[in-house]
Amino acid sequence: MAKKASGKKQHKYVYKFGKKKADGNGKLKELLGGKGANLAEMTRIGLPVPPGFTISTEVCTYFYDHKRSYPKELQGQIEDGVRNMEKVLNRKFGDLNRPLLVAVRSGARDSMPGMMDTILNLGLNDQTVKALGEASGNAWFAWDCYRRFIQMYGDVVMGVQSRPGEDHEPFETLIEEYKAELFPGESDVEDSRLDASQMKELVKRFKRLVKERTRKAFPTDPWKQLQGAVGAVFGSWMNDRAKVYRRKYNIPHEWGTAVNVQAMVFGNTGTNSGSGVAFTRDPANGDKVFYGEFLINAQGEDVVAGVRTPQPVAELKKVMPVPYAELEGIRKTLETHFTDMQDFEFTIEEGVVYMLQTRNGKRTGVAAVHIACDMVREKLIDWKTAVQRVPAEQLDQLLAPIFDAKALRKASKLAHGLPAGPGAATGRIYFNADRAVEAAEKGEKVLLVRVETSPEDLRGMIASEGILTARGGVSSHAALVARQMGKVCVCGAGDLQIDYHAKIMTVGDKNFNEGDFLSIDGTSGDIFEGKVNTAPSEVVQVLVNKSMNPKKSRTFKDFSQLMGWCKKVTKLAVRTNADTPDQTANAVAFGASGIGLTRTEHMFFEGDRIDAVRQMILAEKIDDRQKALNKLLPYQRSDFEGIFKALKGLPATIRLLDPPLHEFLPHDHGAQSQLADSLGVSMELISKRVHELHEFNPMLGHRGCRLGVVYPEISAMQARAVFEAAANVQKKNKIKCRPEIMVPLVGFARELELQIEVIHRVAKEVAKEKKVKFNYLVGTMIEVPRGALTADQIAEHAQFFSFGTNDLTQTTLGMSRDDSGTFLPAYQELEVVKANPFASVDQAGVGQLMEIATAKGRSTRPNIKLGICGEHGGDPASVAFCHKVGLNYVSCSPFRVPVARLAAAQAALADEQAVASKTKKKTIKKKTRK
């Protein structure tokens, strides 16, 4: 580090805290990181915080921008921070009589537990260790601290880590070898069995290991030790685990970390000392209890590292009643001051309590909802704050089936994939949809296991408890359909080798036959051998299964309260993607305001109607095609009747046929032969038609509106089914129906114009035949760039736009959603993309097209209805973007509706706060001028 600067006023990089005074406060998280800001805040409110200082995140930014160097002012400010600690504690850094020892810890703006590095007991050397032993009257304790310091510093700063082929951390290996010398034949020997002289010998061996591995002597100068530790903590911001964690939780790498240097307090001085980690409430279920763990005669690292088994914090009351009572008081102070559940670390040194950090505690989705609602009832926060407190993504956890906790502890983990549909499922594995259906009809619990799924697997997916695929990502077909159905799903489990012919799945050296049991966790992506018992969530039991009295469910009560608050503030409506009455009813129960997407092609796979679809495709004459369509009409009409009844007057956006026709035909010889027999046609005809329909790039081929333009009779049949269903429900059930017919894949205004002519003609015909009036809209999906760029022209005909962001992302980025899994993880790691664009809207690219289409569409038709119906509609970040753009609604899978509703409410509240903040700044500015 550079020498202390002089002259003009320096930029402040170091913020001191101690003795109830602090340079910073809890609002400076961007500058001081979460840990540093909260240490300052706890100091200010009088909690027992050991003194120290925080090096700001600005230094981290400088560090990486200037080839790992520091601002010239930094060294002098660090020295001033050390002097302040010396003054408060009456100790001196490096002193041979009363040495000041420090801890050096990271502290990012958002908590990243365990991802970056920590060094304790810094300042020890061969001389100061003796002073520590004399001052404490405990030589064992002093040498134990020294060996811990060498182990941490040697690993983190000097790079003494496992070599290729070494199974264990080298310092731990050395400890075990030394214990084996001292206590031959014994295992799991506690460190306390070593006396002070043996701890001293261990220190010598540790230093020798450092010299052998690094060719450098272990540093004895405390200032050089501090310099190395600060650099290592800043360096750990870019270690692999930190980068992976940031990618997972969308933490920008630009934020950087702060470094906290704090005077050491010791929980390992004897039986009147200890360390612990605690929560002000239970982070698993939200109960208002003192929750956590502690260890007697231990440093904090022992609690989190699992070296010893901690005890529940409630047991502390028995062994240290006075410190426990103080911690109970601190617990209440923290919640009252921070108005949120806190996760804090404490050390008790010879009966004296010290607070080492506090932060808003990580919690499950269930706990988040309970804590938010409870704190409103306790008048700690208002309802708007409660809405913002619950991470929208976590709301999934309230709806998903869960594994029984006891059973999970005994389960054997087999592999891991991408968590694509949250929840837990156990069943017998089947590699074929038809066999899965047969097994389910016999009462078996089934898991459908496929290399990848296609629309033909739909019945098997419906019959299954969960879906497991070896390929595909979180927006693959399996994932999309699973989420829509509320099915548990794990995708892209690359360790799975599936042999359809032999009906065997291989994972490593283990084989699983069709009919064997597996269990999958769609929340974590974990796959387990055998059966693991599950149970539906309370919210699903109340709303969907109707199997629980809502008054008996605390979770449902708080969930319902949260959704009620969302309704008060939300501007962006939430619809659902649903293809069946059951899916529709589920979504409406969760608060959906209608259907944003019904995929009519999914209906074609129900029962034996696929035969009529195939007859239609094989027809070479329009009359034959019409005969097949006439067979399909009553099926589609019945489907739409069920949906309209379930909606009870809410609107339904129904998409006309979208996939290319070849998807409905079998491609292998055996299936084609079976189809020829069932339809009474020749194999040659089927083979010829399959060949004619083959496309090199079907995603951009003869599909969507292009089918309707070339074969208008298909669109006419589907429109007739919609209008006849609406007429029947309006007349028989006295329910007003509001169909919104959506033409897919429009890139040219004329395409839409041609389809609208067909739809309007059929609507008039049915209205006349049934003697009813229809309240309907016709619009289009914006899912190709040209559609977005010419939205003003398309809006001359369209009454609504729905952004089909799945295909719009593919066509804009030139990426296949189902094939991108081979390179997207690398792209995220290398920061080519910050998030998976198929999971969260690419706002700079796809988002810009959405903004252009919105502006152009409204320039032609100011009252045009705008929505989104891709899977992005259930992604909280995408929902917030849709709110910003000014869409009228988002649409998502039924079981994502609560997530989207919460995200929409949070977006509205963020807007409200931004306006209030802007108004406040203007008011202050005006007053300043006066």
Which residues are annotated as catalytic?
Answer: 477, 869
Distance CA 867, CA 890 (A): 5
**DSSP secondary structure letters along 203-231:** HHHHHHHHHHHHSSPPP--HHHHHHHHHH
Distance CA 360, CA 285 (A): 16
DSSP structural state of residue 48: -
- Longest CA pairwise span in the chain (Å): 103
**Which strand (E) or helix (H) includes residue 81?**
helix 74-89
Per 3-state DSSP, the chain is made up of helix, strand and coil in percentages (nearest 5) of 50, 15, 35
Question: CA angle 420-425-427, nearest 5°?
Answer: 125
Distance CA 621, CA 688 (A): 15
Token pair listed for 168: 């264990």
Q: Are 801 and 866 in contact (CB under 8 A)?
A: yes
Token pair listed for 711: 């074969």
Distance CA 608, CA 619 (A): 18
704: left (phi over 0), alpha (psi -120 to 50) or beta: left
Q: Are 641 and 728 in contact (CB under 8 A)?
A: yes
Q: Are 743 and 789 in contact (CB under 8 A)?
A: no
Pairing label, strands 865-868, 800-803: parallel
Distance CA 148, CA 94 (A): 18
Which positions ≥6 away from 537 have C-beta within 8 Å?
Answer: 397, 398, 399, 400, 401, 402, 555
Question: CA angle 175-177-183, nearest 5°?
Answer: 100
Distance CA 150, CA 61 (A): 28
In three state form, how does the secondary structure of 629-677 look?
A: HHHHHHHHHHHHHHHHHHHCCCEEEEECCCCCHHHHCCCCHHHHHHHHH
Sign of CA dihedral 543, 545, 548, 553: negative
Sheet holding 311-312, edge to edge: 311-312, 291-296, 274-279, 342-349, 352-360
